[in-house]
Structure 1
Amino acid sequence: MHGQVTGLAYAICYPLLAAFGVPGNLATIVILSRGRCGLSRCITRYLVGMAVTDLLVLITAVILNRISVIYFPVLFLSTTPVCSLKIALIYVARDCSVWLTVAFTFDRFVAICCPKLKAKYCTERTAAIVMGTLCAVSCVKNFPWYFVYEPLYIIDGVPWYCNIKLKFYTELFWTAFDSIDRILNPCAPFVLMLLFNAVTVRNILVANRARKRLRAHSSGENQSDREMESRRKSIVLLFTISGSFLVLWTTYVVNFLYVRFSSSSYSTGSSGNDPRFILQESGNMLQLLSCCTNTCIYAGTQRKFREEFCNGLKYPLNLLIKIVKS
C-alpha cells in the first residue's frame, strides 16, 4: 500500500513539474530576451541560456522520459533506439544546465572578486563563447551513452526498452567513462559552486568593511551608494540561483556518495517502500525541480522582471477586451 502511495505521488508530481516549469521557462526566455529587465547583456545571456537548457531538461527528462513511461509505457518512445537516444539527450541537457549555472556563478565571481579581469571576461561575447563551448563539450562527452543500452525485450522483431549492457560494468573503457561522468556531474559542479560562493562571500565582507570605513570619513556619507546597490542586486541574484541549485541537488549528491562509497547499487524500484528507492527518486525529483525555480527567483528578486511578467499576463486579457469592444 505504501509503495502504491509513493508511486502515485511521483505520477502526480512529474506532470506538475512539467505544467509549471515548461511555461515558466518559456516566459523567462521571452522576457529576458527582450532586454528590458535592467540586467547587463552578459548576465542576460547566461540567464537565457540557463532557461533554455532547463526547458530542454524538462522536455527530455520529465515529459519524454518520466511522464511517458508512467502514462504511456508501450509507445514508440520505448523502442530501444529511441530510448537510447532519449537517455543520451537527457544527459546532454542536464550537463548543459548544470555547467551553465557553474559558468554564471564563475562570471559573477570574476565580476565581484577580480575587478582587473572583469572588463575582459564579463562580456556578452565571452558569455556566448563559454556557453557554446560548454554545450559542444556536453554533446561530445555524452554521445557514448547511446551505445550503453541493449533491448530488454524483442517482440516481433522490434527491440523494446533499454537495458544496460553487461560490458558497461566490466570493460575498462566504460568503467573509466562512468567514473569521469560522475566526477564531471554532480561532484565537480557542486564543489566548484561551493568554492566560488565561499570566496565571493569572503570578498564581499572584506570590501563592505573597507567601503564603510571610507564612507565614514567622506563628506558624502548620507548619499546613496549606487555601486553598493548595484552590487547588492547582483549578489542577491547570484546567491539565490546558486543557493537554490545547491539545496535542490544536495539529496541527489548524498545518494550518489552513499552508493559510491558503500559499494551499494542504485535501487531498481521493485519495492516502492524501499528507503533507498525513496531517497533516490526524491533526489531525482528535487534535481529536476531545480529547472523550475529560476523563474520564481527572477520574479522575487528583479522588480523589472516582475513588471514584464505581469504585462505579459495582462496582454491576452487586454487583447480580448479590445476584440470585444470592436
Structure 2
Amino acid sequence: MKTTQSLYDAVLQQMQSGNLTTNTTLQEPWDYPAIYKTGRTFYAYFTPIILIVGFVGNTLSFNVFISKGMRGLSASVYLAALSATDLVTLLCYVMVEWLRRGIVYLQPDWKVSFVDTDYLCQFQMYTSYVSRMSSVWLVVAFTVERYIGVCHPLRRIDICSVSSARKIVVFIFLSSMILVLYKPFLSGVFVSASGDKFCTTYPTYSFISFVLDSIYGLLITLVPLTIISMMNFLIINRLFARKRKQKKTRILSEEALMRLEFTSILLVISFCFVAFNIPFLVMWIRNFFFSKHITNPINDSMYDVESWQGWLYITRTIFYANYCINFFLYSITGAYFRRGLKAMFCKDNRGLLRAHSTLTRYNSHSHTNHSWV
C-alpha cells in the first residue's frame, strides 16, 4: 500500500553527491524557496501522525482479519498479510526515514545516527524494499482475486480459496526477497565532507544501482497501477452489467453481501492506492529524466533543485498515507469488518459465531447463483 528508494532517497542522495545536473553552490538555509520549507515542514509534522495512526490501525486490522469470524475467507488472507506488511514498512521505512530527515528538521540537535551504521543500514534498506514491494503486489493479488470472483464466477471456487491465497502470499514475499537481494550488496555507510553519515549506494555501483532501482520503481508503481486500474475498470463494468440484469431481484443472500462488501473494500483501497501514488510517480518520472545517468549537465539553479525537493517531501508524505488509511477504509465500507472489530473489543461471541457461520456457508456454497459478486 506502497514506493521505491529511487523515487526519493536516490534523488536526495543524488542531490547530496552531485548526481543531479546542477553546477551551482548550495544556498544558505534562509535562502531556500518557500515550497522547500513548506514541504519539509509538512513532512516533519505529518509523518509522525501517519506512523501513530498506521501502527494502531494496522494492528487492529490484522487482528480482525485473523479472528475466527473472518479468517475463513480468502480475502482476509490478503488483507491480514497487507496489514502486517504495512506495519513492517512503517517501522523499517517510514519511521527510519523520518528519524533521518524529519526529526532533524524540527530539532537539529536530535540527529539520529544509529540507523546509519554498517549492517543495520543494509538490513533496513533491504527490509524496506521487500516490504514495499510485497505491500504493492498484495493489493494487486487481491484485485486479481476479486476480478476472478466478479468476472469469472465459475472459476472462483477453484482459484479463490484460502489455501490458494496463502500460497500466493508466500510467493509474493519470497519473490520480493529474491528480487531485491541486490540492494544490500550495493549499499553502505558513507561520511560526507561535513562529517555526517548516510546510508546510500556505493559510488562504484552507481549506474547499476540506478538501473536496478529504476526497474524496482516501475515494478511497484507504474506496472501495478496499470494492472489495478484495468482490473477495477473490468470489475466495475461487470457489476453495473449485473445490476441492470438483476433489477427485479433485489434480495441478496448474506454470502453475496459479504462478497460484495469485500469487492467494495478492494475498489476503495485500490482507488486510494492509485490516487496517493500518482503524485509520487510524477516526481519519480521527473527526477528520473534529470538524473546524471540520463541528462547531460545543464545550468540548473539550486533554487530549482530545492523547489523540486520541496514537492518531493509533500508527495512523499501523501504517499505514506497508503500505510495508515486502510483501517478507515475497512471501517467505512465493511459492515463485517466493523462487526469483527466490535466483537474483538466487546467479546461479542455471538457476533463472532454468526460471522463464522456465514463464512462457512460462503465457502461451502460458492456455486450459488450469487457467486458473481
TM bucket (normalised to shorter chain) is 0.7 to 0.9
| Length-normalised TM-score, structure 1 | 0.81
| 2:122 and 2:184 in contact (8 A); partners too | yes
Q: 2:177 corresponds to which residue?
A: 139
CA distance in 2, matches of 1:175, 1:64: 22
| 1:35 and 1:44 in contact (8 A); partners too | no
CA distance in 1, matches of 2:211, 2:291: 17
Structure with greater contact order relative to length (CA < 8 Å, sep ≥ 6): 2
Q: 2:48 corresponds to which residue?
A: 15
RMSD between aligned residues: 2.9
Structure 2 residue corresponding to 1:161, chosen from 190, 194, 198? 198
Corresponding letter in the other structure for 2:237: R
Any unmatched runs of 5+ in structure 2? Answer: 1-29, 104-109, 295-301, 348-373
Structure 1 residue corresponding to 2:220, chosen from 179, 182, 185? 185
After TM superposition, the structure 1 = structure 2 runs for residues 293-304 of structure 1, keeping only pairs within 5 Å, are 293-304=325-336
| Length-normalised TM-score, structure 2 | 0.72
Distance 1:30 1:184, change over 3 A: same
After TM superposition, the structure 1 = structure 2 runs for residues 1-326 of structure 1, keeping only pairs within 5 Å, are 2=34, 3-36=36-69, 41-71=73-103, 72-153=110-191, 160-171=197-208, 174=209, 176-212=211-247, 215=248, 221=249, 224-226=251-253, 229-261=257-289, 274-310=306-342, 312=344
CA distance in 2, matches of 1:283, 1:209: 40
Q: 1:323 corresponds to which residue?
A: none
Corresponding letter in the other structure for 2:169: M
Q: 1:324 corresponds to which residue?
A: none
Distance 1:163 1:238, change over 3 A: closer
Distance 1:254 1:127, change over 3 A: same
Any unmatched runs of 5+ in structure 1? Answer: 216-220, 316-326
CA distance in 1, matches of 2:203, 2:173: 30
Q: Tell me the CA shift for residue 211 of structure 1.
A: 2.7
| 2:47 and 2:320 in contact (8 A); partners too | no
Return the structure number with greater helix share. 1
CA distance in 2, matches of 1:228, 1:211: 13
Number of residue pairs aligned between Structure 1 and Structure 2? 299
Q: Please list the CA deviations of residues 161-188 of structure 1 after superposition, one character each: whole Å capped at 9, or x if unmatched.
A: 22322333435xx454234212212111
Corresponding letter in the other structure for 2:46: C
